[in-house]
Amino acid sequence: MRRAGGTAAPGPEQARSPRSPGRAVVTVPARRASRTARVTAPGPHYSAPRLYEIAFDLNRKGEVDFLEGCFKRFARRRVRRVLDIACGTGPHLLRLAARGYRMSGLDLSPANIAFLARRARGAGFEPDLLVQDSQGHLLTNERLVAHLRAVARALRPGGLYVFDRYMTSSWTDPARRWSWSRRRGRLIVRASFSALNDVDPVSQVFRERMELEAIENGTRRLYRQSHLSRMVFPQELKSLVALAGGFEFVQWFFGFKPHQVLERSRHPLLMVVVLRKKQ
């Protein structure tokens, strides 16, 4: 599940934009869930990329189809290079690379970047990978404007910046939570993710929480991560784009659904925004 990430797609010499911070973990003894049960406690960076990759390998082909459709429909020039900001473990990056795009990626988590580098080499790709912050951790309008200006500088005229952001569909009960499980071989990963927790109505800052429980060969591990993010209202976002300059607003959608335009959607929770670098 990507949050406040982006894909900047400049033309023949393309680029792309941001995503979420990671959390380091410390391993401590757990209550007896099995013979060798252990629990991992939260720290400052994502440090369970294998579990994250398994848990969040959901509908990625559909999202990449959406991105490629945006490149073909909205870019003013052919997109050949893509910068995946907040690339995580590479669910979009590797699929786009397999479709022939020249890829770069950045993520705040060194563990994610190292994990992705190994996956990419195994698949025969050599993307440029960097450890950097992402849009999801910018909590003020000033920083968002600076970010938009930086992304615009990285793009060729006519290139695109595609990103997603949460929005609230209910002020009385904004928090949303999802739970699911995935299996890969002998490993079972039970995941829960929640967003729009504890929204501050003035700063629009909220908390995201994630928990991954892994059960494999009689060992149980529990990984928890929490960080702050910022909700941006749709019309506020348009104003920030205009203030930053450099981009023209193209379109926005409810999720990665090419026919689900935001204005015509009921109770949208996730807006996916398409911006284009001015000529």
- pLDDT of 157-206, one tens digit each? 999 999 999 888 777 778 899 999 999 999 999 999 999 999 998 999 99
Q: What is the pLDDT of residue 267?
A: 85
DSSP category for residue 261: B
- Close Cβ partners of 5 (under 8 Å, ≥ 6 residues apart): 17, 18, 19, 20, 84, 85, 86, 87, 88, 134, 135, 136, 163, 164
Residues 111-143: pLDDT tens digits? 999 999 999 999 999 999 999 888 888 999 999
Residue type, 15: A
Counting as low any pLDDT under 70, the low residues of the chain are 1-46
pLDDT at 70: 97
Count of CA atoms in the C-beta half-sphere (13 A) of 270: 13
Average pLDDT, the chain: 84
